[in-house]
Structure 1
Amino acid sequence: MRPLDLDERQWTDVPRNFEAAGWTNYEAQQFQAARAAYLAWFQDEPFSAEPAILAGYLSHLLDPTPSRAIDLTRMALAASPAEDLLLNNMAFYLAEAGQLDLAQQYLARTQPLPPDTELGLTLSATRGLIAFRRGNEKLGRALYEQAIAAARTRSLWEYETLATLYYSRELARIQDPSAPERLMRARLIAEKIAEPGLVLTAQRATADVLAFSEA
C-alpha cells in the first residue's frame, strides 16, 4: 500500500497520535475525549506549551473550579516561563479562583503588547476580569470594552465574541440590567460562528449567569 492510500481510520489509529485525536474530538465537540487526548499529548511532550494550553482551556470550561487548569498551566510554565499566553491564562484562572494578587503577579510578567493585537486584547480582557473581581467596576468596563473594540476593528469576530461573553458574565455578577441581552446576543453569534470552544464558552458563561440568579 502506498502511504497516501491510508484511509481516515488508519490515520487516526497511528500510535501516540494524541494531537490528532484531540483535534478530531474537539471539532466533534466531544470535549471530555478531546481533553483526555490533550492530556496524553502533554504527558508525551511535557516541554510543549500547546497541549497544556488546550487541556487547561477545556478543564476551565468543563470543571466546576479552575484548579485543574491552574495545575496544568503551572506545569507548562515550569518549561516555558516566558510564554505570554500561558501567563495570561494562569492570571485568568487564578482570578476565577479568587487569587487576585497572584493573578496580577502573573499578568505583570507578560511582555508589553499593542492592545490591538490578538494577545494584547486578550490581556486587556484579563485585566478587565481582575478589575471587576477587585470591585473596580469602572476600570473593568473600560478594559473589556477596549478589548471588544480592538477585536471589532480588526474583524476578529471570535475574540470579540469571547470577550463579550465574559464581559456579560461579569456584568451579570454585579446585576447590571444590560447583561442578559448582551449575553444572549453573544451566544447567538457564538453559535453562528460555530467554533467548538467558543460554543462551549457560551454554554459555560450562560450556566454561570444562571447560577448567579439562583444564588
Structure 2
Amino acid sequence: MQATIEPTENAAAQIEFESQRGGFTAPKAVLQPQGSFEAAAIEARGREDWNNAIEAGQSWQMDQPFAVEPAMFLSYVAAVGAEDYAAAERAARIGRVANPKDPMLANNLVFALANQDKKIDVDELLSRSAPPRDSREEAVHNATRGLVAFRAGDVQQGRTYYSLATKQSLDLNFPGQAALAASYWAREEIRARSEEAAEIWKLARTLTEHTAERDAEMILSRLPKDSIRSSLPMY
C-alpha cells in the first residue's frame, strides 16, 4: 500500500494513533517518514518525552504554520507537559496569526500568560475569539478563568470557576478533564496557602484515580511535598 511505503504526515500520525490504541508497534520507518513531524510529536507525547514532543511540535508548526492542530498540540504539551509557558505562549500566538478566532487557542494563550504571572485582561482577550464551540470547551474556559482569578488574588472567584469547570467536566463524562481541572485547582489553593487546599487536593487525588489519563496525576506529582503536608490536617 502506498500509505505504508511512503506515508504522508497525516497517514503516519494516524498509524501511530492506531498503534497506541490497538497495542501494536508500527515500524519506525512507517511512523517517521521524512518530514513526519506530526507523527514524531504524537509519539513523543505518548512516551511523556516532553522535550522531544516540543521539538517535534515546533517543527510541525513551522511546517504547517497556518494550521490549528500543531499550535494546539504544542501550546498544550509545552504548558502542561513541560511547564515551558513561554514556549506555550509562542505556539499559541503563532497559531492565532492565521486563526485569531479559535476559542481554544485563545484559551491556551491565556493559560500560558497566567502561568507566567503576566497581567492580562482575560475578558478582552477571549472576547476577540469565537465563543466555546461546545460544553466541553466551555468547561476548559472556566478552568482557565479560575487560574486567572487565583493569580489576580481573587481566591473566591477562582474557586467558583474551578468548581464549575470540574462539575461540568464530570457531568459531560470527561473524567480526565475533570481531574486535570481539579489538580490545577489544588495547585492554586496550595500556592495561596488557603484553608481549602487539603480538601481540594484530596478531591483531585480521588478524581485522578478514576481516569486512565495521566496528565492530572503528573500535575499532582509536581506539587511540593512539604506544601501538601502542611496543607493537610494533623491527626
Is this contact kept in 2: 1:25–1:31, CA < 8 A?
Answer: yes
Displacement of 1:83 in angstroms is 0.6
Report the counterpart of residue 128 of structure 1 in structure 2.
146
Give 1:97's aligned residue: 116
Name which structure has the greater RCO, CA cutoff 8 Å, separation 6+. 1
How many pairs does the alignment contain?
209
- In structure 2, list runs of 5 or more residues that go unmatched: 6-25, 231-235
The CA deviation string for residues 109-134 of structure 1, in whole angstroms up to 9 with x for no partner, is 243448x7110011111111112222
CA drift of 1:140 comes to 1.3
Determine the structure 2 residue equivalent to 1:11: 30
Listed one character per residue, the Cα deviations across residues 129-158 of structure 1 (whole Å, up to 9, x for unaligned) are: 112222222211111111111111121101
Q: Which amino acid aligns with 1:42?
A: Q
* Residue-by-residue CA offset, 1:26-75 (whole Å, 9 max, x unaligned): 11222211221111111111111211221122222355652221122111
Within the alignment, does 1:39 sit opposite 2:58 as a pair?
yes
**Equivalent in 103, 119, 123 of residue 84 of structure 1:** 103
Q: Structure 2-normalised TM-score?
A: 0.76
**Aligned with 1:100: secondary structure?**
coil
Q: Give the C-alpha shift of residue 172 in structure 1.
A: 0.9
The ranges of structure 1 where at least 4 consecutive aligned residues each deviate by more than 4 angstroms after the TM superposition are 2-7, 62-65, 207-211
- The RMSD of aligned alpha carbons is 2.8
The separation in 2 between residues aligned to 1:188 and 1:176, in whole angstroms, is: 20
CA 209–151 in structure 1, closer or farther in 2 if over 3 Å, else same: farther
The Cα of 1:167 is off from its aligned counterpart by 0.9
SS at match of 1:14: coil
Partner of 2:200: 182
Partner AA of 2:77 in structure 1: L
TM-score (normalised: structure 1): 0.83
Q: Percent of counterpart pairs with the same letter? A: 27
Residue 23 of structure 1 pairs with residue 42 of structure 2: yes
In structure 1, the residue matched to 2:75 is 56
Give the secondary-structure state (helix, strand or coil) at the position aligned to 1:193.
coil
| Residue 155 of structure 2 is aligned to residue 137 of structure 1 | yes
Taking a change above 3 Å as real, the CA distance of residues 65 and 32 of structure 1, as seen in their structure-2 partners, is closer
Q: Supply the AA of the counterpart residue of 1:179.
A: A
